[in-house]
Chain A
Amino acid sequence: MSTVTMIYAGMFYVATLLLVTGLAYKIFDYSRTPAPLKIPTTPAPTTQKGVVYRMAKEVVLFESLFKSDKWIWLFGWLFHFGLLLVLVRHLRYFTEPVWFWVGIAQPFGKYASIMMVIGMAGLLARRFLVDRVRYISTPSDYLMLVLLLAIGLSGMLMTFVVHTDIVALKAFFMGLMYLDVQPLPQDLILLIHLALVALLMVIFPISKLLHAPGLFFSPTRNQVDNPREHRHVAAWAARLDQKN
């Protein structure tokens, strides 16, 4: 087994561990922290079902962003939806036999990478061109987009220009999943692509990518508007009632 294969295998085990434990901790931390007051941004749904519908519109259509700014919405949605299709397509490297719906998504996933890259390019351009967005951007905001762009472009290079040994690559990842490490094809572009993906996995739980789980815990979006009908009290706040 080559050194490169061993390094990449180790890297993906560590990255996966950090991603899963990091995210699990964050989700645990969000869920144990109380929301002591009813603060949904109104008008808000008055039933739990309504909240699911509101949240679904936020997650799938980016409803609030659409209300706010059509350009950010367009680029943001292109990027995220493109990314989703690309990720779905990548499932074929981790499943045997490949799930049938992954097969259906395959051709779309291939071209969705273009959507994704256009979206990211638009978002990056806004960081330079709009004075307000430039003002609030930190180095990590640019680097995050550059990282994602580099992952997308290196992936597209392999899809459309310089193919890698995809059968061997699949064997490598299936091997990782079954703890039976197989040799990794040593193409430079593939190695770059994979290293950047591992980096992204590591920084996910300690970066602004936490907006993904965060949205589901956002009290202004996930609370039911029923404060007159239901008494909502956090544990630390309920203790104040006992003193009276």
Chain B
Amino acid sequence: MAAAEFDIPEIKDDIEIPKLREGAMAHAKTFIAAKPIQDSMGFPHELGEDWKERAIDKMGDLLGKYRSLKVFLDACVHCGACTDKCHYYLGTSDPKNMPVARQDLMRQVYRRYFTTAGKLFPKLVGAKDLTKDILDDWYNYYHQCSECRRCSVFCPYGIDTAEITMAGREILNHVGMGQKYSNEILGKVQKIGNNLGLPGPALEDTLEGLEEDIEADTGVAVKMPLDVKGAEVLLVTPSADFFSEPHVESLIGYAKVFHAAGISWTLSTHASEAGNFGMFIGNYETMRKVAMRIRDAALELGVKRIVVGECGHAWRVAYSFWNTLTGIGYGGNDPFSIELQQQLDPTYPQPQHICELTNDLIKSGKIKVDPSLNDDLVVTYHDSCNVARASRMGTEPGGQFIIPRELIKSVVNNFHDMADDTIHESTFCCGGGGGLLTDDLMEVRVKGALPRATALNNVVKEHQVNFMAMICAICKAQFTKVLPKYGFDMSMVGGVHQLVSKAIKLD
């Protein structure tokens, strides 16, 4: 089924707050997961007769497990601070894409079933019985949220709509309304080892082909080792890096960095995916299972360090959650985490971001670069949402903004940031994160990219920027697809290590 036609928004001089257009995106409904997919995830595939009880039970279960959900559903005062912060609202004008309204889709039900005021005076406090219409609203609008957390920066109580969206999707899965895109991918990563479903032999072939390309290009035999026991570094990277453009250019960049620095490294077929869509669907157990593949590979290969490639949500899961989920990190005092932690080299952060690694190597002079090799480019940098608002690099708060920019500026001579209210913690999502990178949500993706496209357009006009660097596989895939609809060339989009790859000296 082809997606319906829709108008591409016009880029204005500034990001404008639109007037409400109720129901503007009510038709945008991502494909529902069919039986085989739901079966493999252990979820039902259709609403049973008892769906309402199941939904309310699951909500109660989550309220007992997640303080975030409980506090966030209680604390909102409807002040309106978040109403103009979501890129999907700014791009679509649909009021249900305002963060507070998105939360209220669940809050109205929470109030009805779990609060005194909502049980006694539902009309007064906007509490509603759960109906099929409300469930459909959940499905549609919890799949128009990229869990980017921009709203949480601006909320006076730190209410993070991503937490509500995750809970919403978790409940939807438990009543039989899973999303095809995310759940299909979760099936692939758990069966085959990566989101693209690329089996071991195919991966080996791909890497060999890339080694030949690099040698043909540079004359240097840069290797891309796979499943090498005893390597120092296990590199875990999004599987898009193996054959999507422009992602693969960054993979080539990582390989050159390891080669130039003389660090032994390896990829793993078992853990050939940094991405973890378990986070997107808000299911702790699934997220843990997917993350466990990396722990298992690290133990199996006996590596001393774990480094993560360019991927936004993967870095959030790796940086913020891996220690919790799998013991990759430090400070564990239980046998489960000690088993792994005693194997890892304590002189490095675990896990480490590839930008941290490369930036350190350049600053300490262990690898040499020539930024003039990128003189054809005027570069800007897109802070990916999960890196910006849900993780860190380096030792200081805000290192996630500083380190990638330091790295870029060491390999290019022309750099200009976009407007202040569109970068760092205020960065705008690409529009395709959080499980929305699917063709059946193309309208949502294109419209959601409007704020970023506007900010980009301004630096293109002012500074003749012709390259937007980023460190996220989803951002790269999303922008190469949607920016052309706004009149930008897709070759403007690429990874930070694509720039490193051009500037690095190999001999």
Using a CB–CB cutoff of 8 Å, the interface residues on chain A facing chain B are: 26, 29-30, 33-39, 41-46, 50, 58, 62, 64-65, 67-69, 72, 76, 123, 126, 130-133, 135-141, 143, 203, 206-208, 210-211, 214-215, 217-221, 225, 227-234, 236-238, 240-242, 244
B403 to chain A, nearest CB (A): 12
Q: Is the CB of A132 within 8 A of B83?
A: yes
Question: What is the CA–CA distance of A123 and B77 in the complex, to the nearest angstrom?
Answer: 11
Given contacts A38-B321, A138-B78, A231-B331, contact A67 B71 (CB under 8 A): no
Question: What is the CA–CA distance of A177 and B323 in the complex, to the nearest angstrom?
Answer: 52
Question: What is the CA–CA distance of A76 and B78 in the complex, to the nearest angstrom?
Answer: 12
12 A-B pairs within 8 Å (CB atoms) are namely A33-B64, A41-B152, A64-B154, A65-B81, A132-B20, A136-B100, A210-B75, A219-B71, A219-B158, A220-B152, A227-B329, A231-B330
Question: Is there a chain A Cβ closer than 8 Å to B101's Cβ?
Answer: yes
Question: Is there a chain A Cβ closer than 8 Å to B334's Cβ?
Answer: yes
Q: A residues within 8 A CB of B446?
A: none
Q: Is the CB of B83 within 8 A of A41?
A: no
Partner of A72, one of B19, B79, B336, B398: B79
**Closest partner residue, chain B, to A55 (CB atom):** B158
Q: Is the CB of B65 within 8 A of A36?
A: yes
Question: Is there a chain A Cβ closer than 8 Å to B390's Cβ?
Answer: yes
Stretch at the interface among B123-131, B192-200, B204-212, B217-225: B123-131
Given contacts A33-B66, A37-B320, A237-B284, contact A132 B84 (CB under 8 A): yes
Q: Is the CB of B19 within 8 A of A41?
A: no
A188 to chain B, nearest CB (A): 27
Interface centre among B17, B72, B80, B329 (most CB of A within 10 A): B80
Given contacts A136-B78, A231-B332, contact A39 B70 (CB under 8 A): no
Q: Is the CB of B116 within 8 A of A206?
A: yes
Interface centre among A62, A69, A132 (most CB of B within 10 A): A132
Partner of B76, one of A43, A211, A234: A211
Question: What is the CA–CA distance of A132 and B63 in the complex, to the nearest angstrom?
Answer: 28
Interface centre among B75, B121, B288, B321 (most CB of A within 10 A): B75
Chain B, range 31-89, C-beta contacts under 8 Å to A: 63-68, 70-72, 74-85
Question: Is there a chain A Cβ closer than 8 Å to B15's Cβ?
Answer: no
Question: Is there a chain A Cβ closer than 8 Å to B349's Cβ?
Answer: yes
Question: What is the CA–CA distance of A219 and B71 in the complex, to the nearest angstrom?
Answer: 9
Q: A residues within 8 A CB of B284?
A: 36-37, 237
A17 to chain B, nearest CB (A): 15
Question: Is there a chain A Cβ closer than 8 Å to B98's Cβ?
Answer: yes
Q: Mark B384-423, 1 if CB is under 8 A from A, else 0.
A: 0000111110011110110000000000000000000000
Question: What is the CA–CA distance of A232 and B326 in the complex, to the nearest angstrom?
Answer: 11
Q: Is the CB of B20 within 8 A of A42?
A: no
Q: B residues within 8 A CB of A225?
A: 392, 397
Partner of A228, one of B64, B153, B155, B329: B329
B444 to chain A, nearest CB (A): 19
Given contacts A35-B68, A228-B351, contact A43 B392 (CB under 8 A): yes
Q: A residues within 8 A CB of B396?
A: 46
Total count of chain B residues near the partner, CB < 8 A:
81
Question: Is there a chain A Cβ closer than 8 Å to B23's Cβ?
Answer: no
Question: What is the CA–CA distance of A229 and B388 in the complex, to the nearest angstrom?
Answer: 19
Q: A residues within 8 A CB of B19?
A: 131
Question: What is the CA–CA distance of A66 and B194 in the complex, to the nearest angstrom?
Answer: 43
A70 to chain B, nearest CB (A): 11
Q: Is the CB of B158 within 8 A of A218?
A: yes
Given contacts A132-B83, A228-B349, A231-B323, contact A206 B115 (CB under 8 A): yes
Q: Is the CB of B71 within 8 A of A30?
A: yes
Partner of B20, one of A45, A135, A221, A236: A135
Q: Is the CB of B75 within 8 A of A43?
A: no
Question: What is the CA–CA distance of A38 and B329 in the complex, to the nearest angstrom?
Answer: 13
* Seed contacts A64-B154, A64-B155, A136-B83; 8 additional CB < 8 Å A-B pairs: A36-B65, A42-B391, A76-B156, A132-B95, A133-B79, A207-B125, A218-B72, A227-B329
Partner of B77, one of A38, A208, A219, A233: A208
**Closest partner residue, chain A, to B390 (CB atom):** A42
Q: A residues within 8 A CB of B155?
A: 64, 68
Q: B residues within 8 A CB of A143?
A: 124
Question: What is the CA–CA distance of A17 and B494 in the complex, to the nearest angstrom?
Answer: 61
Q: Is the CB of A217 within 8 A of B95?
A: no
B418 to chain A, nearest CB (A): 18
Question: What is the CA–CA distance of A50 and B160 in the complex, to the nearest angstrom?
Answer: 21
**Closest partner residue, chain B, to A209 (CB atom):** B77
Q: Is the CB of B20 within 8 A of A214?
A: no
Question: Is there a chain A Cβ closer than 8 Å to B146's Cβ?
Answer: no
Partner of A133, one of B83, B124, B152, B159: B83
Q: Is the CB of B64 within 8 A of A45?
A: no
Q: Is the CB of A208 within 8 A of B78?
A: yes
Given contacts A131-B20, A132-B20, contact A211 B285 (CB under 8 A): no
Question: What is the CA–CA distance of A215 and B72 in the complex, to the nearest angstrom?
Answer: 9
Q: Is the CB of B68 within 8 A of A208?
A: no
Question: What is the CA–CA distance of A41 and B401 in the complex, to the nearest angstrom?
Answer: 14
Q: Is the CB of B321 within 8 A of A37?
A: yes
Q: For the complex of A and B, list the 10 residue pairs with the smallest distance between their C-beta atoms, beginning with the closest.
A: A214-B75, A138-B126, A68-B154, A220-B158, A43-B397, A133-B80, A132-B83, A221-B158, A68-B81, A231-B332
Partner of B397, one of A36, A45, A131, A211: A45
Partner of A36, one of B70, B100, B324, B392: B324
Q: Is the CB of A46 within 8 A of B67?
A: no
Q: Is the CB of B337 within 8 A of A210?
A: no
Q: Is the CB of B320 within 8 A of A218?
A: no
Q: Is the CB of A232 within 8 A of B324?
A: yes
Q: Is the CB of A62 within 8 A of B324?
A: no
Q: Is the CB of B75 within 8 A of A211?
A: yes
Q: Is the CB of B160 within 8 A of A220?
A: yes
**Closest partner residue, chain B, to A139 (CB atom):** B124
**Closest partner residue, chain A, to B123 (CB atom):** A139
Question: What is the CA–CA distance of A221 and B149 in the complex, to the nearest angstrom?
Answer: 13
Q: B residues within 8 A CB of A72?
A: 79-81
Q: Is the CB of B324 within 8 A of A38?
A: yes
**Closest partner residue, chain B, to A123 (CB atom):** B79
Q: A residues within 8 A CB of B100?
A: 136
Question: What is the CA–CA distance of A76 and B115 in the complex, to the nearest angstrom?
Answer: 26
